[in-house]
Amino acid sequence: MTVRTRFAPSPTGYLHVGGARTALFCYLHARKHGGRFVLRIEDTDLERSTAESVNAILEGMTWLGLDYDEGPFYQTQRFDRYHAVIDDLLARGLAYRCDCPKERLESMREEQMAQKLKPRYDGRCREHQVDPATPHVIRFRNPLDGEVVVDDLIRGRMVFSNQELDDLIIRRTDGSPTYNLAVVVDDADMAITHVIRGDDHINNTPRQINILRAMGVEPPQYAHVPMILGDDGARLSKRHGAVSVIAYRDAGYLPEALLNYLVRLGWSHGDQEIFSMDEMINLFDITDVNKAASSFNTDKLDWLNQEYIKVADPSHVANLLRPHLGRLDIDPTVGPDPVLVVQAQAARARTLVELAAISAFCYQDFADYDPDAAKKHLRPVAREPLTRLKAAFELMALEDWTPESLHHVVEGVAEELGEKLGKVAQPLRVAIVGRAASPGIDVTLQLVGKDAVLRRIDRALAYIDARAGAV
């Protein structure tokens, strides 16, 4: 039997990290077993579903690289099918019309709550002939006794008594099918073998199994994934900062780092932290996912992201960096190749946003000197080395503007002055970067380029003079 999983988001917001982790688990389980991964958009709630949200979900899936084999299927395009199933259940006496007025249902509910009972429909219309012309809902005739046993792949065995389950509405008064009905019909029609979803759906599972059985379909296997908590122990939500996958993209995370982080939330393989996609597919086993909730830890995500920035192919990182440079008004086609920037700076940034910020000097003149760096290094004693460096750089041909030759020139000037390299390199660094930290001076010079180096040395000399004059 081919393994078939589905990710079934409701398009009522963006794709959040919890959803992305569920999607990843569905994806890995399908890939590991040579199966198929289906994307289904559960948009039956017409009031809350939006096209923007559908787009945000698709955009998130694409950015993460979670390719689906089938879909996206939209539930709103399958209403005819849901109605056919509902009508069939009605015809077979497995569902019935209910015209209980709202007031009756409400007072029943209040009474049950007052008696500390679980609110449930009392089944009044079960044996009642309701005129199809009067407003009514359709309810599923849930079995009255027996139990539903779910051997959950994560939770283990869960047993639900049918007495606890009431007769669920499967078609509303306005004629629309309800969520639980649509899910069941889709899981059956799409031949889903493994339903992997958030554990907030556990209560729906026995009801869905009963409807599947009424349809004559053997239920799939279920795996309910525990929720993700914020660092304060509450369910992860907007309150905890970024939760949308696209917000992580915009904050400079690599999709592979986020996936790697998410796979480790509630699953582990020894103490291995870094997993390539192939490793995830080979090693992941849904039955190894923890039962307990896990907490989101941004420091760990940052650490992983930095590891990925360091070890990933620099041209891949450069492609992801370009839009972040663009957000700083930098046109990366004018200036050094971003691949060189990544090679020089990768170890210095936790995110692509930081990487872009600390690399802006390669493309544009910085606004101000870091005050401490300028105070320490742009002093009158720096005039001589900077002037000599400028003269030497001016003589260099553009094709010689390489880290090796540049190193040679800086070393030569230090020797002429009988100074240590640092005494020459630090004022130069502050002159061309504005700060006292950057990659090696030779690479820094290469990245900034000859014109900008000469211009910025002039600026530093003017700064030193102005400061000396002001004293």
Q: Which stretch binds ligand GLU (CB under 6 A): 3-11, 100-108, 299-307, 392-400?
A: 3-11
Q: Is 209 in the site for ligand GLU (CB under 6 A)?
A: no
Q: Is 10 in the site for ligand GLU (CB under 6 A)?
A: yes
Q: Which stretch binds ligand GLU (CB under 6 A): 8-16, 84-92, 213-221, 242-250?
A: 8-16
Q: Is 8 in the site for ligand GLU (CB under 6 A)?
A: yes
Measured in degrees and rounded to the nearest 5, phi and psi for residue 384 equal: -65, -55
Tokens 């401490």 found at = 372
Structure tokens at 38: 């289906």
Which one, 74 or 463, has the nearer CB to ligand GLU? 74
Task: Tell me the residue number closest to ligand GLU, measured at CB.
Answer: 197
CA atoms within 13 A on the CB side of 345: 28
State the nearest-atom distance from the C-beta of 9 to ligand GLU, in Å. Answer: 5
Q: Is 78 in the site for ligand GLU (CB under 6 A)?
A: no
Which one, 208 or 426, has the nearer CB to ligand GLU? 208
Sequential DSSP letters for 75-136: GGGGHHHHHHHHHHHHHTTSEEEE---HHHHHHHHHHHHHTTPPP----GGGG----TTS--
Distance between CA 311 and CA 468 in Å, rounded? 46
Structure tokens at 96: 């019935």
Q: Is 201 in the site for ligand GLU (CB under 6 A)?
A: yes
Which one, 266 or 385, has the nearer CB to ligand GLU? 266
Which one, 41 or 138, has the nearer CB to ligand GLU? 41
Which one, 7 or 393, has the nearer CB to ligand GLU? 7
Which one, 9 or 427, has the nearer CB to ligand GLU? 9
State the nearest-atom distance from the C-beta of 197 to ligand GLU, in Å. Answer: 3
Which one, 9 or 177, has the nearer CB to ligand GLU? 9
Q: Which stretch binds ligand GLU (CB under 6 A): 5-13, 120-128, 270-278, 378-386?
A: 5-13
State the nearest-atom distance from the C-beta of 226 to ligand GLU, in Å. Answer: 14
State the nearest-atom distance from the C-beta of 6 to ligand GLU, in Å. Answer: 7
238 is catalytic: yes
State the nearest-atom distance from the C-beta of 5 to ligand GLU, in Å. Answer: 10
Q: Exactly one of 32, 238, 310, 376 is catalytic; which is it? A: 238
Q: Which stretch binds ligand GLU (CB under 6 A): 7-15, 61-69, 282-290, 462-470?
A: 7-15
Which one, 42 or 167, has the nearer CB to ligand GLU? 42
Q: Applying CB under 6 A, which of residues 197, 224, 324, 350 lies at the interface with ligand GLU?
A: 197
Which one, 155 or 324, has the nearer CB to ligand GLU? 155
The answer to whether the beta carbons of residues 257 and 301 sit under 8 Å apart is: yes
Q: Which stretch binds ligand GLU (CB under 6 A): 4-12, 135-143, 331-339, 410-418?
A: 4-12
Distances (CA, A) of 76 to 72, 83, 87, 186: 12, 12, 18, 12
Pattern 36-55, ligand GLU, x by CB under 6 A: ------x-------------
**Buried/exposed code over 171-198 (b: 16+ C-beta within 10 A; e: otherwise):** beeeebbbbbbbbbbbbbebebbbbbbe
Short-list 64, 160, 165, CA closest to 121: 165
Q: Applying CB under 6 A, which of residues 17, 85, 183, 209 lies at the interface with ligand GLU?
A: 183
Structure tokens at 167: 């007769």
Distance between CA 389 and CA 392 in Å, rounded? 5
State the nearest-atom distance from the C-beta of 152 to ligand GLU, in Å. Answer: 13
State the nearest-atom distance from the C-beta of 72 to ligand GLU, in Å. Answer: 13
Helix (H) or strand (E) holding 295: strand 294-295
CA angle 216, 221, 227 (to 5 degrees): 130
The answer to whether the beta carbons of residues 426 and 377 sit under 8 Å apart is: yes
State the nearest-atom distance from the C-beta of 85 to ligand GLU, in Å. Answer: 17
- Using CB under 6 A, count the residues that bind ligand GLU: 7
Any residues with CB less than 8 A from the CB of 275 and at least 6 apart, and which? 260, 263, 264, 269, 283
Which residue type does 418 have? G
State the nearest-atom distance from the C-beta of 253 to ligand GLU, in Å. Answer: 23
Short-list 354, 322, 345, CA closest to 335: 322
Q: Which residues lie across from 197 on neighbouring strands? A: 224
Any residues with CB less than 8 A from the CB of 42 and at least 6 apart, and which? 8, 9, 10, 11, 75, 179, 182, 183
Torsion of CA 250, 452, 446, 460, to 10 degrees: -100
Q: Is 9 in the site for ligand GLU (CB under 6 A)?
A: yes
The answer to whether the beta carbons of residues 193 and 4 sit under 8 Å apart is: yes
Q: Is 206 in the site for ligand GLU (CB under 6 A)?
A: no
Residues that bind ligand GLU (CB under 6 A): 8-10, 42, 183, 197, 201
Tell me which residues are annotated as active site.
238
